[in-house]
Amino acid sequence: MESGANPALAVICLCAEWCGTCRDYRLGFEGLRKEFPTVTFRWVDIEDQADAIGDLDVENFPTLLIARSDVILFFGTMLPHLGHLRRAVETFLAQPEAESLAYVSSSPERKAWQNDADLRNLAATRDESEIG
């Protein structure tokens, strides 16, 4: 991660068009972009954009990836309540770089995220699925 100001966050939602929960969640997910204009929000359909997710296993929806620069801050299923995602984004935006680095090193699971090429590629990709 760069020193100085925190680089902007990227929030990637992994869902599927056939999933009713995903369809219901998408409008609110897209609406969060207006609340957080410095955050990149991307919607990735795991079937239509299977190449983008590589070998990642997505078993439940919505599955979210939150990254800052080359640091994976969160990867997993989150209840489809926008308030949960809003709080996570607020928390990560306020988190200083040193705290983020300590956080991602604080568990074996988080450490593994940093070395997962599919997660890192997904976090770094900017394509037509970006909202905005």
pLDDT tens track for 111-130: 999 999 999 999 987 654 44
Site of tokens 């369809």: 23
Task: Say if residue 116 is exposed, middle or buried (CB neighbours under 10 Å; 0-12, 13-18, 19+).
Answer: middle
The answer, yes or no, to whether residue 91 has pLDDT greater than 50, is yes
Averaged confidence pLDDT in the chain? 88
Determine the Cα–Cα distance for residues 82 and 131; give it in Å rounded to an integer.
16
The pLDDT score that the predictor gives to residue 6 is 57
Average pLDDT score over residue span 8-28: 94
Domains of the chain by residue range: 9-124
The answer, yes or no, to whether residue 1 has pLDDT greater than 80, is no
Tell whether pTM > 0.75. yes
One-letter amino acid of 56:
L
Determine the Cα–Cα distance for residues 26 and 114; give it in Å rounded to an integer.
27
Task: Tell me which of 6-15, 25-34, 76-85 is least confident.
Answer: 6-15
The pLDDT score that the predictor gives to residue 124 is 86
SS3 of residue 71 by DSSP: strand
Structure tokens at 66: 């939150």
The pLDDT score that the predictor gives to residue 23 is 94
- The matching CATH number, chosen from 3.40.309.10, 3.30.1330.20, 3.20.20.30, 3.40.30.10, for 9-124 is 3.40.30.10
C-beta of residue 7 within 8 angstroms of C-beta of residue 1: yes
